[in-house]
Amino acid sequence: MSAVREAVLAYVALGANLGNAVAMVRDSIDAIARLAQVELLSGSSLYRTAPIDSSGPDYVNAVVCLRTTRTAYDLLAGLQLLEDAAMRARPYRNAPRTLDLDLLLFGDARIDSATLAVPHPRMNARAFVLVPLAEIAPGLVDVAQLRRVSDQGCERLP
């Protein structure tokens, strides 16, 4: 008899800046919702942001909240399969991309391994993460955090 894992809340950031980025982010939210053992609870608005430590067109970003019985590593593997299906290339760090899916938070887990870091190590320095995260989970982001990234343009799309 196998043990049933307790469901945890996870937050995933989505971003794209190649091709039809708006459609890619929207389609990817739907694809995440179809992953086994994943229930999509909420999703932020879409936001336009300039690349940080990168080049190329502006990004379209969002954050989703999931309930899952997957492990953090299994969820990461599922997200990476979605990136692969979107023809995500990794020619160099912070290269423009068709799709980027980052596991931000996984319950109250603290993970620091060669393949996964949770909480995401740069999430508190990025407006494109904090602004949409604050929209769907205001208790996870405080005013001081938002103030620190306020110089990074993050415009809600209509």
**Cα-to-chain-centroid distance, residue 119:** 12
Question: Active-site residue 88, yes or no?
Answer: yes
Of the residues 102, 126, 142, 151, only one is catalytic, namely 102
Question: Active-site residue 102, yes or no?
Answer: yes
Of the residues 48, 70, 100, 126, only one is catalytic, namely 100
| Position 144, amino acid | A
Question: Active-site residue 5, yes or no?
Answer: no
Per-position DSSP letters for 76-123, written without gaps between them? HHHHHHHHHHTT---SSTT---S-EEEEEEETT--EE-SS-EES-TTG
Of the residues 97, 110, 142, 147, only one is catalytic, namely 97
Of the residues 26, 27, 74, 88, only one is catalytic, namely 88
Question: Active-site residue 148, yes or no?
Answer: no
- Asked if residue 152 lies in contact with residue 52, where contact means CB atoms within 8 angstroms, the answer is yes
Residues catalogued as catalytic: 88, 97, 100, 102
